Amino acid sequence: MADYAIRLLETPEEMVSVEDLQRLVWPGSETEIVPTHVLITTIHNGGIVLGAFVKEQLVGFVFGFPGFEMLPDGPHPKHCSHMLGVHPEWRDSGLGFALKRAQWQIVRHQGLDRITWTYDPLLSRNAYLNIAKLGAICNTYRRSEYGDLHDGLNAGLPTDRFQVDWWLTTRRVEQRLGKRARGTLRLSNVNKAGLEPLYHPQTGPDGWLLVPEHFTPPATPLLLAEIPPDFDALKAADLSLARDWRYFAREVFETAFASGYYVTDFIYDARSKAPRSLYILTDGQAILNDIG
């Protein structure tokens, strides 16, 4: 990987470059682009836009803004991370992790202890970064969060999303972002631990993972939930099957979250001959003790 530099973006000219990069990352719908004037207004009111550059070419960015969430004891401040985009030629290069790590450092200096964002729970690369690498957790499932989107990545499916919570000062996050970061879990770790799968999906004759007919109600402290390893490829090949996975995953995770479980880790075995992607869910009390 070439050397890169990450810096704060502040000028209209830089935001035009962010617009252009958005078109590469989310092609097909101009209405989904966050325009320069909104980005500028955001950073003049506490928001942050960070850019990753290789030889002065913008190849990645992350964009967010301050907000608050109403809880039973009143409003609590947070940072809402709205977009993370990496140039198609630089995906899987570590730039996404580096941008989020820089965001982690800056938001802590603003005095905030939590960042939230959303992502499609069926996208393995996103889950691996957000949950396994960064240490975010999730117990919030949002149905059709953005309505109908018509860009090349979202058209044809409900825009269901996980909202993740990234508790910036917890031990689990420090373990992943510190100088001696812990490694990500492997499938062998799961096999040794004997974790209980919620269901056992089979592979169809065309190679795609089939939707199970049912799943076991959550009852043990640690659970496994498997998803298709390459959901984008599945969507392109069989949109009907991809839609079935959307509705099945919705039922699984809403049931688990309602029962007090959190998504706490993710296994992405992408390099084997038969790739697999699995979420680990944990009974919530241990997680609540960790975040205080």
Q: What is the pLDDT of residues 145-169, one digit of tens each?
A: 988 765 556 667 999 999 999 999 9
The predicted structure's pLDDT at residue 98: 96
Q: How far apart are CA 280 and CA 278, in angstroms?
A: 7
Give the confidence band of 187 by pLDDT, cuts at 50, 70, 90: confident
Query: What stretches of 168-273 adopt beta strand conformation (E)?
Result: 196-197, 222-227, 261-269
Strand partners, 269: 276
Q: Report whether pLDDT(124) > 70.
A: yes
The predicted structure's pLDDT at residue 106: 97
Q: How far apart are CA 286 and CA 236, in angstroms?
A: 39
Q: Report whether pLDDT(176) > 80.
A: yes
The predicted structure's pLDDT at residue 284: 84
The predicted structure's pLDDT at residue 292: 53
Give the confidence band of 138 by pLDDT, cuts at 50, 70, 90: very high
The predicted structure's pLDDT at residue 1: 53
Give the confidence band of 199 by pLDDT, cuts at 50, 70, 90: very high
The predicted structure's pLDDT at residue 217: 87
The predicted structure's pLDDT at residue 149: 63
Q: Tell me the average pLDDT across 74-84.
A: 96
| 3 state DSSP class of 75 | strand
User: Average model confidence (pLDDT) for the chain?
Assistant: 92
What lies within 8 Å, CB to CB, of 32 at 6+ separation is 22, 26, 149, 150, 151
pTM listed for this prediction = 0.92
27 vs 86, higher pLDDT = 86
The predicted structure's pLDDT at residue 2: 62
53 vs 181, higher pLDDT = 53
